[in-house]
Structure 1
Amino acid sequence: MPGPARTPSAASTPAPHPWNRYVALGDSFTEGYGDPEPRSPGGVRGWADRVAEELSLGHQDFAYANLAVRGRLLQQIVDDQLGPALELKPDLVTLSAGGNDIVFRGSDPDKLAEKLDPVIGLLSATGATVVLFTGPDWGGTPVFGRIRGKVAIFNENLRSIAARHDGVVADLWTLRQLAAPHMWDPDRLHFSPLGHHTIAALVLEALNVPHTLKPLEPKILPTSSWRQARSSDLVWAKDYLFPWVVRQVRQRPANLGLKAKRPEPGPVFGPGLAHGPLAAGSEGGGPFPTGPVTAVKP
């Protein structure tokens, strides 16, 4: 289903769109990690909540469910979330899966795409608009830069899958703003509130929906010396990378009783709408978090 044609909209005019029921599938990226918000279910907000807040403006019948669970691999997302998503009969679906497989398991991107293709086919066959996400470009990072080639191959597969099933691509790989350090949580795996805000705008633009999310520029930090950069890498490895390796060695069960933060579709009462639609001095209808980001470990 193609998105609506873009039309100019004033701040007081809700963006027109054809979707009444939105379901988000995925892992911590879609759950909203890195974007802490006590007023949101699960204590995090994220790009999907921000997209839902925008789509809900002026649409009383709009409902949103988020089935994403942190740490999930592609097959787990398919096994645990696809069935419930189909039962909810959404007309808009966002799906991000495979990132954990590539980053933490070294999985073959072509084989991951083979698993994902029929899933997108099933979702698309319902008539729903399906949004897929390419992986970001980690080429400038010291550790994840090593998997840049795999991410690029997976991204090309995703674009082919989207074209085959009339899907929509939210292209994180080409979103150059994500190269800024303030777009990322201190764990370097999840996005910061600024990153989630920027990605929400990307999704709405990929759907050709006018929105109220204004571009927010990160602060320009002074260039670090080689020694300072090395010190930062060592702190990150100690606080985030090494603990993750230990957890993998111990082979903790994947299912720790974690549940989706919004398993049933319902009205959007996120922080972006806490002060009413398009409250004065807000971004997208609510205050944009400007305080320090609480680190959330993977």
Structure 2
Amino acid sequence: MESRRPAHPTRETMNRDPIIVMQHQGVSYIKLDYYMRAASIIVNGEHTPAVCPGNQQWAMHDGIVESLAIKQPSQRVCIGWRLSDKYRGVVQFPETLEPDAITYDHDEEAYQATDATATYHPDFYEQVIEERQASPVAVEFLVIDRDCQPITQPADVTVDFPHSLREYPATWHRHPVSISGEALFARAADVLVAAVAARPNDFVCDDHRSIGTVTLHRYMNHEPRTREYKVGRRTRRDTQTRSRFEVMKLSKPRSSYTEGALVPPTLKAENWLALEPKINEFVNLVLSYIEPSSVGVCPHCAGDGFLLNKAA
């Protein structure tokens, strides 16, 4: 679907709340929205801010914001009328007319000569148009924090805002945050399944994320081992040098398959800076089960047993 966002905010869209601004180490961050892009902003009467790298919802200006204005689209203005080239030398009409010499009659849906006694006919003329740049519109702004830069809030992280700050969620990462066990499971499971897909000769996942569990299996090469099994009355034998076994199971906290599984708890911290390492620590724990040294063949079982070098 084609975007209908205007190239520049118009005066009609300027009737709005103040623009949110944050500052951090001499850089100002300006909150963008549907009607306002970085290219349409004028900072301190002369500067155009840049879009924040990795965060399209904010613009950044190297310095303190003292004023903000929004560029307006240029306007097409009729500055007169000229006789069309194909009629020059053919009719005895004036070659040029003033802008108000011809007006549009909405009832007749046609251009008419303003002076009813005029001898010229509007159909013989074309408008002379001039593009005029409209003046920028000054807008209000509000600096909500002078020591904070914007960070995108993950969709699965809940923020416990103080009541007085709920109006300004852009500072979410400075307040107590948490991530539920279900959301943490989703993060870790996504990363694990993707990592296993990149190593199909070593691992395989029973991927049942829809019911809240993912089971990691490892393929292991070992000494030849003979296996006997019955097919009807006949006994068959085969030799195995490669086996598949369960290494680890990951489950949601409220899943029916939590027995013997890693079950992520709800994690909390005083702010995002403290919570993010906790999230990464759990995800890295899950990924540690596919490290080369995590599993080995038991030297005493000749392929009947395996050593798991991780504490589940």
TM-score bin (small chain): under 0.3
The alignment's TM-score, normalised by the length of structure 2, stands at 0.16
Q: Which has the higher contact order (CA 8 A, sep 6+)?
A: 1
- 1 or 2, which has the higher helix percentage? 1
Larger Rg over CA atoms:
2
The alignment's TM-score, normalised by the length of structure 1, stands at 0.17
- 1 or 2, which has the higher strand percentage? 2
